[in-house]
């Protein structure tokens, strides 16, 4: 293990690593008090090379590292890559490519949803992961030998995990599946900041177009302020305050002061003035140009029955094919299919459609049923007499079956 603190050392190390087929990469960063992550360390392992880059060292320029990340001749291996890639994109304006994310690969290989790094290290390498420095303040210097040993372990294990997961994908014939997932991670649009779309992050809903317009402008104003000041969004304005202000639409200091979600004197601050201006701009928006308000009407009894069956079908498909259910379809997608609102759903495209999507649509339309076969749930196609004519359910004299059309009539 080498600790890199100068540009020349980094350049030499990256040149050596660039001759490898792949490099395992991890980052340590702090984000508790900032909008953008503060990069503190970068760890890399390739072949016999094991290095830690002190990104806070005074005499270091990270250009050689960013050049390595952009080198398309070497695969960059991460675990849960999104935040690592986001950091590289923010600092250098590039997307590491090609990328292999071991967390997603593990889901494709049947290790469950959001497979933890520790789980993979234990199951595939039979090693116990060192967790002693998980909550280290990586921005403080000097770093101890214990901290450095912990940090490098993240990539030395990752270096050994990659070939095993890669080979398993090849054996299963699922390399292309992972490629589809990596295309999202390596799409620059995934990391582009669009403050005008910040309102989409908010979980609560408003009840009127007027409130929606105000909420959209407030969220955009907060996003720009948080980025400009490099502070967390909540430091500018909490989510609860956005909903309260959107509902009440205060346009004066006096009206803003009356809200319980903001502290006394807030209206006279620069933030308060910014909020009032954002409210006014939101009120000026043409309601006809605003998105439709989702009412989220509760599912009726028939749709709820279909949703229950879709959940069973998903678990069955995931078990048969050894893929994490969450990777195939989300709960939101299942509900949309049950409602008949399946526009542009990932679960109805590509390999997901082959495993689950096509059967899900057939189940909802009453063209597919579910059977208990040897203690397992299997899909079947009923014929005119309601008897299975395909799949593992065929030929059994005793079976327990239920189909979407029969269930919906109850």
State residue 114's pLDDT score. Answer: 67
The share of the chain scoring above pLDDT 70, in percent, equals 92
- Give ranges for CATH 1.10.150.80 in the chain: 195-289
pLDDT digits (tens, 9 = 90+) for 219-248: 999 999 999 999 999 999 999 999 999 999
Q: Return the CATH fold of 2-190.
A: Nucleotidyltransferase; domain 5 (3.30.420)
Taking the C-alpha atoms of residue 360 and residue 382, their distance in angstroms, rounded to an integer, is 15
Taking the C-alpha atoms of residue 100 and residue 75, their distance in angstroms, rounded to an integer, is 7
Q: Are the C-beta atoms of 45 and 155 separated by less than 8 Å?
A: yes
Taking the C-alpha atoms of residue 330 and residue 177, their distance in angstroms, rounded to an integer, is 17
Q: What backbone phi and psi angles, to 5 degrees, belong to 233?
A: -55, -40
Taking the C-alpha atoms of residue 305 and residue 401, their distance in angstroms, rounded to an integer, is 15
Per-position b or e across 325-347, b if 16+ CB within 10 A of its CB = bebbbeeebbbbbbeeebeebbb
Q: Are the C-beta atoms of 371 and 362 separated by less than 8 Å?
A: no
- If you average pLDDT over each of 63-77, 124-138, 185-199, which comes out highest? 63-77
The alpha carbon dihedral of 11, 141, 47, 120 has a sign of negative
Q: Which of 322, 391, 381, 327 is nearest to 357 (CA)?
A: 327
Cα separations (Å) of 314 from 98, 346, 361, 362, 400?
31, 14, 12, 13, 19
State residue 115's pLDDT score. Answer: 74
Structure-block tokens of residue 103:
């967390």
pLDDT digits (tens, 9 = 90+) for 317-326: 999 999 999 9
pLDDT digits (tens, 9 = 90+) for 85-141: 999 999 999 999 999 999 999 999 988 876 789 989 999 999 998 887 778 899 999
Q: Return the CATH fold of 195-289.
A: DNA polymerase; domain 1 (1.10.150)
Greater confidence, 386 or 4?
4
- Length in residues, the chain: 410
pLDDT mean over 40-44? 98
Average pLDDT over the chain, rounded to an integer? 90
pLDDT at 396 over 60: no
pLDDT mean over 248-259? 95
Structure-block tokens of residue 144:
């101890």
- Look at residue 128 and give its three-state secondary structure: coil
- Give ranges for CATH 3.30.420.10 in the chain: 2-190
DSSP letter (8 states) at residue 190: G
Band (386; pLDDT cuts 50, 70, 90): low
State residue 293's pLDDT score. Answer: 83
pLDDT at 286 over 90: yes
Band (296; pLDDT cuts 50, 70, 90): low
According to DSSP, the β-strands at 38-46 and 49-54 are antiparallel
Taking the C-alpha atoms of residue 106 and residue 135, their distance in angstroms, rounded to an integer, is 25
- Look at residue 122 and give its three-state secondary structure: helix
């Amino acid at each position: 293990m080498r600790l890199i603190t100068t540009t020349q050392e980094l350049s030499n190390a990256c040149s050596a690593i660039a001759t490898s087929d792949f490099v395992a990469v991890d980052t340590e960063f702090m984000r508790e008090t900032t909008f953008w992550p503060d990069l503190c360390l970068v760890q890399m392992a390739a072949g016999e090379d094991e290095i830690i880059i002190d990104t806070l060292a005074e005499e270091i320029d990270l250009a050689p590292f960013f050049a390595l990340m952009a080198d398309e001749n070497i695969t960059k291996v991460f675990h849960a890559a999104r935040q690592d890639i986001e950091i590289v994109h923010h600092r250098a304006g590039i997307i590491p490519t090609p990328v292999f994310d071991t967390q997603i690969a593990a889901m494709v290989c049947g290790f469950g949803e959001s497979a933890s790094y520790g789980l993979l290290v234990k199951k595939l390498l039979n090693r116990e992961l060192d967790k002693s420095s998980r909550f280290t303040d990586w921005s403080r210097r000097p770093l101890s030998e214990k901290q450095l040993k912990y940090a490098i372990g993240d990539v030395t294990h990752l270096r050994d995990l990659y070939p095993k997961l890669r080979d398993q994908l090849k054996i299963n014939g699922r390399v292309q599946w992972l490629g589809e997932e990596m295309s999202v991670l390596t799409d620059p649009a995934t990391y582009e900041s669009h403050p005008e779309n910040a309102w989409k992050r908010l979980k609560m809903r408003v009840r009127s177009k007027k409130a929606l317009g105000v909420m959209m402008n407030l969220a955009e104003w907060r996003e720009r302020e948080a980025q400009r000041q490099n502070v967390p969004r909540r430091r500018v304005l909490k989510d609860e305050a956005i909903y309260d202000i959107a509902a009440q639409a205060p346009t004066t200091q006096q009206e803003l002061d009356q809200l319980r979600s903001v502290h006394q004197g807030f209206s006279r601050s620069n933030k308060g003035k910014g909020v009032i201006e954002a409210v006014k701009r939101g009120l000026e928006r043409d309601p006809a140009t605003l998105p439709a308000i989702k009412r989220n009407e509760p599912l009726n009894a028939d749709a709820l029955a279909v949703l229950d069956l879709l959940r069973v079908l998903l678990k069955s498909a995931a078990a048969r094919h050894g893929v994490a259910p969450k990777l195939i379809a989300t709960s939101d997608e299942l509900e949309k299919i049950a409602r008949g609102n399946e526009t542009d759903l990932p679960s109805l495209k590509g390999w997901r459609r082959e495993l689950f999507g096509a059967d899900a649509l057939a189940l909802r339309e009453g063209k597919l049923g579910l059977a208990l076969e040897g203690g397992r749930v299997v899909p079947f196609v009923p014929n005119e007499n309601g008897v299975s004519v395909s799949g593992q359910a065929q030929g059994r004299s005793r079976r327990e079956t239920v189909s979407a059309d029969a269930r919906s009539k109850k």
